[in-house]
Chain A
Amino acid sequence: MRYALLICTDESAEMAMSPEEGQAQYAKYMTFQEEVGAAILNGARLRPTTDATTVRVRDGEVLASDGPFAETKEQMGGFYLVEAKDLDEAIDIASKIPGAQQGSIEVRPIWDM
């Protein structure tokens, strides 16, 4: 089974981090990735929503606008695509993501096409 682990955190708190705190957080993610190893198929950290553009097509017209598609308290700041035996294993991996300590991780099974 493949799952997307969507890391949702308060990005303003992350933006407010000192360089040292940022480094420490980065190191935690590296440790996590080493620990989980091959189960991680892919993943990325996303730039903040201030850099986001939302695109819609209405009546054939492309409408691009500034910002995320929804204003929420927590924003998706990154994700992992993982291979896990079942939901419990996916939950176990999700619980080890450093962002789970402050924010939350949404575990979404991948729709196999």
Chain B
Amino acid sequence: MTGDWDVAEECTQDAFARALETWPRDGVPRSPGAWLTTAARNLALDRLRRAAVGASKLQQVATLATEDDSDDAEERDVIDVDDSGVEDDRLRLIFTCCHPALGLEARVALTLRTLAGLTTPEIARAFLVPEPTMAQRLVRAKRKIRNAAIPYRVPPAHLLPERTTAVLAVLYLLFNEGYAASSGADLVRVDLCAEAIRLARTLTELMPDEPEALGLLALMLLHDARRASRVDEIGELITLEDQDRTRWDREAIEDGVDRLDAALRREQPGPYQVQAAIAACHATATTAAATDWVEIAALYGALARMIPSPVVELNRAVAIAMADGPEAGLRAVGVIEESGDLDGYHLLPATRADLLRRLGRHDEAATAYRQALDLTTSDAERRYLQRRLDEVETAR
């Protein structure tokens, strides 16, 4: 019937990636009720502090802050060793690598280098930058950690919620880098998804009382479970509706849903948990037609309240269209258009076009598809939109 959903799915990720770029710069929005209660926070901290930290271990990890050299084996040793205290070290390291005083690119690179153990050439390849550029980025980041005395520790309680958000943002960005590239041939980038999942898993083990960490892990698992079915043999995007659901990774979906349930039991909802819940609605629907769009529309409403964003609103409009019909969806799209917040964003006319097409208003649909075609920069999307445009023009 339609490929609205995948378009919408991509744009949520886009919205979130944008939020993640602006939060570190402009500060994390104060979302009421979304963060850890003091009790949960203290519990987490107690648990973390109980682990004894060997002085020598600390010394070793401190090489991160003292060595300017981007390539020292010691760092990796520290991460691979598995005895008591290491977990605590690793958590400190995560918070140091993801400190907001470092640029977002530096945080991502540093996290891959020191926590995932990727080599500098590997990271450079993953982010499509020349190796010397990446080496320099890492050297500068480490130099700043040392020279500005960025602390090597788990932040105190009053800083923990926003610093944890910064850590989650880095991991999610990492995942998105890999996920968005999964239509390409570069396998290194797909590996980023695996690294992000591994690190998120580690984080949930280190901070078992942080529901948003669980939510993020669930979100990644649920998206990743569908990776194999997202593109066809020639690299064309397959919309969610047309994906072969038998190729979805059942085990990963189950794992994701379990994590999400564990997170939701804490009753401290946050944006990652809500997004994971949306992904779970899709991943657990046995057929595209069985998708619970009413629930999804409600979840997008909740997400929009947590992270007000016109792109989230656009997703909500798509969900409303699926739940209540294209006309209801068009009304919601109209509200966004009037706000002018998404002017120039190709998915706005693309969404309108798909809704009009479904209503059989082919002329109007064709106009909207042309507007979208003028705005898109992605080849895969251009091909998709052109296909749809041809369809409605034939149908006239």
From the candidates B99, B147, B155, name the one contacting A109 in the complex (CB within 8 A): B147
- Chain B residue with the shortest CB-CB distance to A84: B149
Nearest Cβ distance between residue B301 and chain A, in whole angstroms? 34
Task: Kindly state whether residue B39 has any CB partner on chain A within 8 Å.
Answer: no
Contacting pair A86 B151 (CB below 8 A):
yes
Contact B147 A86 (CB under 8 A): no
Cβ-defined partner of A1 (8 Å) among B99, B149, B155: B149
Q: Which residues of B contact A24 (CB under 8 A)?
A: none
Encode contact with B along A87-99: 1 for CB under 8 Å, 0 otherwise. 1101100000000
Expressed in whole angstroms, the Cα–Cα distance for A87 and B150 within the complex equals 5
* Beta-carbon contact of A88 and B148 below 8 Å: no
Residue of A nearest to B158 (CB): A92
Q: How many chain-B residues does the 8 Å CB contact rule pick out?
A: 9
Interface of A is mostly: mixed
CB-defined contacts of B55 to chain A, threshold 8 Å = none
Bound form: Cα–Cα A85–B147 in Å:
13
Contact of B155 with A87 in the complex, beta carbons under 8 Å: no
Indicate if the CB atoms of B159 and A109 lie closer than 8 Å.
no
Question: Which chain A residues numbered 67 to 113 have a C-beta less than 8 Å away from chain B?
Answer: 84-88, 90-91, 107, 109
Q: Which residues of B contact A84 (CB under 8 A)?
A: 149
Interface residue? B101 (CB, 8 A): yes
> Is B148 within 8 A of A109, CB to CB?
yes
Bin chain A's interface residue count. Answer: 10 to 19
Give every chain B residue within 8 A of A90 (Cβ-Cβ). 149
CB-contacts of B132-173 with A (<8 A) = 147-151, 155, 159
A88 touches B155 (CB 8 A): yes
Most buried by A among B147, B149, B151: B149
Report the separation of the CA atoms of residues A90 and B148 in the bound assembly, to the nearest whole angstrom: 10
Complex Cα–Cα for A56 and B260 (A): 63
| Shortest distance from the beta carbon of A4 to any chain B beta carbon, whole Å | 12
B100 — nearest CB in chain A belongs to which residue?
Answer: A91
Min distance, Cβ A78 to any Cβ of chain B, angstroms: 21
Contact partners of B148 in chain A: CB under 8 A: 87, 107, 109
Taken together as a complex, chains A and B put the C-alpha atoms of A81 and B99 apart, in Å, by 23
In the assembled complex, the CB of A33 is this many whole angstroms from the nearest CB of chain B, namely 22
- Report Cα–Cα, A109/B148, bound state, in Å: 5
The docked-state distance in angstroms from the alpha carbon of A101 to that of B149 is: 25
How many angstroms from the CA of A107 to the CA of B148 in the assembled complex? Answer: 9
Q: Return chain B residues, CB-CB under 8 Å to A1.
A: 149
> Could you tell me the distance between the alpha carbons of A89 and B155 in the complex, rounded to whole angstroms?
11
| Closest Cβ neighbor of A2 among chain B residues | B149
Which residues in A have their C-beta under 8 angstroms from that of B147? 109
Q: Give the residues in chain B near A109, CB-CB below 8 Å.
A: 147-149
Q: State A19–B150 Cα separation when bound (angstroms).
A: 40
Which interface residue of A1, A88, A90, A109 has the most chain B CB atoms within 10 A? A88
For B159, the chain A residues whose CB sits under 8 A away are 88
**Which residues of B come within 8 Å of A, CB atoms?**
99, 101, 147-151, 155, 159
Can you give 23 A-B contacts (C-beta < 8 A)? Answer: A1-B149, A84-B149, A85-B149, A85-B151, A86-B149, A86-B150, A86-B151, A87-B99, A87-B101, A87-B148, A87-B149, A87-B150, A87-B151, A88-B150, A88-B151, A88-B155, A88-B159, A90-B149, A91-B101, A107-B148, A109-B147, A109-B148, A109-B149
- The 8 A-B pairs of least Cβ separation, nearest first, read A86-B151, A86-B149, A1-B149, A109-B148, A87-B150, A87-B148, A88-B151, A87-B149
